[in-house]
Amino acid sequence: MTPLTSGSSGPLVGRIRVPGDKSISHRALMLGALAVGESRISGLLEGEDVLRTATAMRALGATLIREAAPGGGTVWRVAGVGVGGLAEPDDILDLGNAGTGARLLMGLIAGHPITATLTGDASLRRRPRARAAEPLRRMGARIVARDGCRLPLTIVGAVEPMPIEYRLPVPSAQVKSAVLLAGLNAAGATTVIETLATRDHSERMLRHFGATVDVEATETGGRIITLTGQPELHGADLVVPGDPSSAAFPAVAALLLAGSDVTIEGVGINTLRTGLFTTLLEMGGAIEFRNERLTGGEPVADLVVRASRLAGVEVPASRAPSMIDEYPILAVAAAFARGRTTMRGLGELRVKESDRLAAIARGLAACGVSATISGDDLIVEGHDGPPPGGAAIATQLDHRPAMAFLIFGMAARKPVAIDDGAPIATSFPDFVALMNGLGASIARADRE
Ligand code: S3P
């Protein structure tokens, strides 16, 4: 356990880069491992979740080498085995805290004639995996799991995976991606239909590695995605953009702390990920997107964020897929805003690394903020300035509420403590140093 506390901070001033995008990093290692030839990936998130995926891809037969990049940072060289070429691992694959790693790997394994068992930490073993298992079974895989389709879970992959047409019952980029990854080794076209568009990193990256992926937008905001099976994926170079879900934390901190002026360089601004920034702009946040460009098929910009007086807003349920991981930090921003913020359609937060809906409401209440759950909606009454704070928050192996409540403590009237900051390393290994470098005051609670 790493207890941390945050207290009166700021102003935050400076230029930073946040670590690479977690979703894109998992996918880059997996597709690199399936390509023929070498892929060079720079800007990879070297957080615990992604390192677990790297270990798993080695166990499945790919060669991954981490090297210092000539211009600083690291480059990962991945030599793949070709679609259909994954080897059976000789031991259990432990994905740690990584829900994305687990679901995407289920897809990869389901499409290969191999047997593998997946496990993870207490948080991952609590999370139901039935949503991914159902279509993969239809494609011919056998999946044996604990009650509620929980890990540890064994997949006996299909010898000849069947291409299917699958309508996602709930918007989920992970389930979509698991089906597409299994479809890579199926003879014919695999189609996924989504009623609301979710992050499309898999589709973009599959194309980048040489697959044919057709995407048709529906009139109601959904998409029909069709992958042509058994492509020859070729090694490709890739620069992973900064993770907008990580940039969210310094961005909100800069909005809340008077006098702040922070530039976050090279942040991914794929519109299927930027619902938080849209919402913060609606709340009156001063956020500018500068120097927009494309890297590795993904749009990127430098974000300039200045302290702002925020006002409460209504966030529609249709925006949830584009900011699904950002509600903990949005709820923090809402607590400081003028008036009420209503966030609709948050049912999915109950099955994240922890039950985030309950965790946010409980944490805000402990910090003196009125937060009510009504069905799948969350209603936060803003304080039009710093709320009391002064609470101790249990983070339950969940990195995002951990970071969100540390940001809360930086701008609240009294410090906020979290019982364990260790899970932050799953997505944002240098969070504390980077925030303190900007002017934050975050410290080990047991070393004061
Ligand atoms: C992710 C998809 C989302 C998100 C997760 C990463 C991905 O999950 O919450 O952190 O990389 O595809 P769902 O697919 O369950 O919505």
Render pLDDT for 187-210 as a digit per residue (tens, 0 to 9): 999 999 999 999 999 999 999 999
Q: What's the pLDDT score for residue 158?
A: 98
What's the pLDDT score for residue 77? 98
Q: What is the pLDDT of residue 448?
A: 52
Q: Ligand 1: distance of its center to the CA of 6 in Å?
A: 28
Q: Quote the CA–CA distance of 18 and 251 in Å, as a whole number.
A: 11
No. of helices (H) and no. of strands (E), the chain = 13, 24
177 Cβ closer than 6 Å to some ligand 1 atom: yes
Whether ligand 1 lies within 6 angstroms of the CB of 246 is answered as no
Quote the pLDDT of residue 430: 96
Q: How far is the CA of 39 from the centre of ligand 1 (A)?
A: 24
Among candidate residues 40, 127, 109, 131, the one with its CA nearest the CA of residue 80: 40
Q: Is 284 helix (H, G, I), strand (E, B) or coil?
A: coil
Mean pLDDT, the chain, rounded, equals 97
Q: What is the pLDDT of residue 132?
A: 97
CB of 322 closer than 6 A to ligand 1? Answer: no
Residue 23 burial (10 A CB sphere; 0-12, 13-18, 19+): buried
CA distance 188 to 314: 44
To test the pocket of ligand 1, the residue of 324, 329, 346 to mutate (highest count of ligand atoms within 8 Å of its CB) is 324
Evaluate: CB of 25 within 6 angstroms of ligand 1. Answer: no
What's the DSSP call for residue 234?
Answer: B
The reported pLDDT for the residue numbered 275 is 98
Look up residue 437 and give its amino acid.
Answer: G
Amino acid in the structure at residue 359: A
Report the separation in Å between the CA atom of 174 and the middle of ligand 1, taken as the mean of its atom positions: 5
Beta bridge partners of 143: 155
pLDDT in tens, 64-117: 999 999 888 899 999 999 999 999 999 999 999 999 999 999 999 999 999 999
Which H or E element spans position 135? helix 130-138
CB atoms within 10 A of CB 6: 29
CB atoms within 10 A of CB 169: 11
- Phi/psi zone of residue 432: left (φ > 0), alpha (ψ -120 to 50 degrees), beta? alpha
Instruction: Report the atom number in ligand 1 closest to the C-alpha of 351.
Output: 15
Tell me the C-alpha distance between 397 and 420, whole Å: 8
pLDDT at 71: 83
Using CA atoms, how far residue 214 sits from 147, 166, 193, 227, 295, in Å, is 37, 15, 12, 7, 21
CA 292 to chain centre: 22
| CA atoms of 252 and 333, how far apart (whole Å) | 7
Q: What's the 12 CA to ligand 1 centre distance in angstroms?
A: 30
Residue nearest to atom 13 of ligand 1 (CA): 172
Contact 386, 361 (CB under 8 A): no
Please identify, by atom number, the ligand 1 atom nearest to the C-alpha of residue 202. 12
CA–centroid distance, 352 to ligand 1, in Å, is: 9
What gap in Å lies between CA 254 and CA 438, rounded to an integer?
A: 9
For residue 122, the model assigns a pLDDT of 96
Structure tokens at 250: 């310094």
Work out the number of other CB atoms within 10 angstroms of the CB of residue 276.
27
Measure the CA–CA gap between 269 and 301, rounded to whole angstroms.
7
pTM score of the predicted model: 0.98
Atom number of ligand 1 nearest to Cα 104: 12
Distance CA 428, CA 70 (A): 23
Radius of gyration, alpha carbons of the chain:
21
Q: What is the pLDDT along the chain (448 residues), one digit of tens a residue?
A: 999 999 999 899 999 999 999 999 999 999 999 999 999 999 999 999 999 999 999 999 999 999 999 888 899 999 999 999 999 999 999 999 999 999 999 999 999 999 999 999 999 999 999 999 999 999 999 999 999 999 999 999 999 999 999 999 999 999 999 999 999 999 999 999 999 999 999 999 999 999 999 999 999 999 999 999 999 999 999 999 999 999 999 999 999 999 999 999 999 999 999 999 999 999 999 999 999 999 878 999 999 999 999 999 999 999 999 999 999 999 999 999 999 999 999 999 999 999 999 999 999 999 999 999 999 999 999 999 999 999 999 999 999 999 999 999 999 999 999 999 999 999 999 999 999 999 999 999 876 5
Q: Which of 193, 272, 197, 199 is nearest to 225 (CA)?
A: 193
CA 121 to ligand 1 centroid distance, Å: 18
Taking CA atoms only, the protein residue closest to ligand 1 atom 15 is 172
199 lines ligand 1 (CB under 6 A): yes
| Euclidean distance between CA atoms 365 and 396, whole angstroms | 17
Outline where 233-369 has alpha helix (H): 244-256, 275-282, 327-336, 356-366
**Does residue 116 line the site of ligand 1, with CB under 6 A?**
no
173-183 and 201-208 helices, crossing angle to 10°: 30
Q: Is the CB of 341 under 6 A from ligand 1?
A: no
pLDDT of residue 296: 78
| Ligand 1 close to Cβ of residue 173 (< 6 A) | yes
Whether 200 lines ligand 1, by a CB cut-off of 6 Å, is no
Within 10 angstroms of residue 159's Cβ, the number of other Cβ atoms is 9
The helix/strand/coil state of 101 is: helix
What is the C-alpha to C-alpha distance for residues 85 and 187, in angstroms, rounded to an integer?
15
Q: Is 443 strand, coil or helix?
A: strand
Contact at 8 Å (CB) between 357 and 378?
yes
Would you tell me how many other CB atoms lie within 10 Å of the CB of residue 409? 28
| Catalytic center residues | 325
